Structure 1
Amino acid sequence: MKKLLCGLLVTLALGGCASNTIKQNIEKDYKSVSIDYPNASLKFMNNFKVAGNAGINNYFGEYTVEKNNGIKIKIKGTTMMAGPINEMNNEKSFIKVLDNVDSYKIDGNYLYFYEKGEQVLKFVK
């Protein structure tokens, strides 16, 4: 029983370290360099919160990091300002893309998001 408990504690401790390392690597402010979303921004904060600007409106939500660079982002809400219809549609598209992201890669100052293996967003610190 003691061996099982010790093994479980070691596993949890190591898993927590990996999660914290990933979290520390991604917790930064980013600006979109994606052609489709030139005015978008993204900030990963502590407590697995995310916020930013989608072009016109600010948004906020939560994220979880998973093994093998997996990530899930859930946008919980946005401000309700109006703007030109094409920019509003672009904003809705951006939020939907963020909600569908399933993995990421950090390369230097760049953060890449992927959906089913295809790059969908690119940000810079």
Structure 2
Amino acid sequence: MSTTYASAAREALPHALLAIDGFHVSQLANKAIGDTRRRVAHELRGRRGRATDPEYTIRGLLVRAEEKLSPAARGKLLCASPTSAGTPASRSAPPGARRNTCAPCSRSPRLAPASRPAAPTSTGP
């Protein structure tokens, strides 16, 4: 909620409770995640992100609910962290080479599931 809207509502309706709908809360959170992703990419490389940068390739995963992430998606998130993706070795990899070379991905193609159970994907018995 914008501060202008909140102050106008408080002035016009001093006894009313302010409510924010879930859509706009999610929208603000997703915008903050995108802004942070762009800032980190710029700090790591000193330039705007490119489509081949790990931070760009996982942009959709960053805003996905945790229970909807597959084990492969979790691995992509872990391997694209600034500590693994920002190393000189991963930046100097030749085009088409696999950039995600963090320890979990090099040990096993499948990662352990999250500590909490995932939501069911079907409604059948």
* TM-score for both structures, normalised by structure 1: 0.27
The structure with the larger Rg is 2
Which of the pair is proportionally richer in helix? 2
Which of the pair is proportionally richer in strand? 1
